[in-house]
Amino acid sequence: MVSIYDIAKAVGVSASAVSYVLSGRAEKARISREKQQLILDAAKKMGYIPNMAARKLSRRNTAHLPEIALCWSPEQHPGFLNTFIGILQDMTAGGQVREMRFTV
C-alpha cells in the first residue's frame, strides 16, 4: 500500500505537502500548480489509494465506519475465537477499525 510518505519521497517534497494536495487544500498551503501536478501524477503512477477510514477520522466523520457486534459462547464454539481474531487483524490492517469493545 502506497502512503503519502512514499509519494513525498518520490517527488522530493514533505508528506504534509502531499497531504494538502491530495485533500484538495494545496492553495491554502501555497503549493505551486507545478508541484501539485507532480504530486498528483506520482500518486496515480504509484497506485495511491486513499485510506477512507483515516480520512473520515481526520474529519471527525466516523458515522459510516463499520461496527461489528459478535455474541457467542466460547464453550460451545471454541474455534470461533481464531476467526474473530482474524477478522480484527484484517480490519485493523485496512484501517477500518474505529473502536473495539469487549464484554464478558
What's the sign of the alpha-carbon dihedral 58, 63, 68, 71? positive
Q: Which triple of cell numbers denotes residue 74?
A: 466460547
Fold of 4-50: 434 Repressor (Amino-terminal Domain) (1.10.260)
Distances in whole angstroms, Cα of residue 19 to Cα of each of 9, 39, 103 = 13, 10, 38
pLDDT tens track, the chain, 104 positions? 899 999 999 999 999 999 999 988 898 889 999 999 999 999 999 999 887 666 666 665 555 556 666 677 777 777 777 887 787 777 777 666 656 665 55
Residues of the chain with CATH 1.10.260: 4-50
